[in-house]
Amino acid sequence: LFQVELADGAGSPARMYLTDVSGRTLDVAFNVVSGNRFEFDLSGFSKGLYFVVIETNGKRMAEKIVVNR
């Protein structure tokens, strides 16, 4: 499992999704762990580079994730 924690006061994400290096949106379920912490399971994903994209308050942020088995 991989977790994402938003800073206090960041607000709820309007949209959160995962992409591959080509920008294709991937099917993954984000579960709320607590008010500002989310988790998702990458165990079924192939080795490679992915990005979790969070859009909130009119801004977009992408964080790199490397799956390395």
CA distance 45 to 26: 10
- Residue-level pLDDT at 35: 77
pLDDT tens, position by position, 20-67: 999 999 999 888 888 788 899 998 899 999 999 988 888 888 999 999
Q: Residue with structure tokens 């607590």?
A: 34
Q: Torsion angle, CA of 16/19/21/22, rounded to 10 degrees?
A: -120
- Single pTM value for the model: 0.79
